Amino acid sequence: MNFRRQKIEEVSVNLTPLIDVVFLLLIFFMVSTTFTRETQLKLDLPQAVSGERVEDRTIRQLELTINATGEMALNERTLITSDLKTLMAALQKESAGNTDLPLVISADAQTPHQFVITAMDAAGQLGLNHLRLTTSEAEADAAK
């Protein structure tokens, strides 16, 4: 008996098509992804013991944020300057003439009082009568 050994075929996996597909997917996701640049001002809100919590965020509103140095942002868009004229133009543009929209003013606890008064003055001149000032809840110990 003559036994012949069978040739063992080498098993190999060709990774080239897999690498091509992965690179194509990577390029697709890189091209289709949009990057948004959000600017947010850092705030340490003043504290208050009394007040009402407003939970209804479904109503369209204008949100004005003022940080400790006086920089302002309206609906998360930073304003170029913090003067009355610029603020009034931005409020007019965002409200589109609707004076029934509430204006929520969130000012840092260290913000100079003048910036808050300027914001309230701009709102008053445009006829925005629904103003809210944002505070954080004070601890029970600090109230005593």
Query: What DSSP line would sit under 83-111, residue for residue?
Result: SHHHHHHHHHHHHTT-TTS-EEEEE-TTS
Report the domain count for the chain: 1
The residue range of the domain holding 57 is 47-143
pLDDT of 81 reads 81
Residue 60's CATH number = 3.30.420.270
- Asked if residue 25 belongs to a domain, the reply is no
- Asked if residue 41 belongs to a domain, the reply is no
User: Is this structure's pTM higher than 0.75?
Assistant: no
Cα(115)–Cα(16) distance, integer angstroms? 62
- Asked if residue 7 belongs to a domain, the reply is no
Q: Determine the residue type at 74.
A: L
pLDDT at residue 52 tops 70: no
Tokens matching residue 131: 């103003």
Q: For the segment 96-121, what is each residue's pLDDT rounded down to a tens digit?
A: 878 788 888 888 888 888 888 888 88
pLDDT at residue 7 tops 50: yes
Could you tell me the pLDDT band of residue 143, with boundaries at 50, 70 and 90?
very low
Up-side HSE of residue 130: CA atoms within 13 Å toward CB? Answer: 12
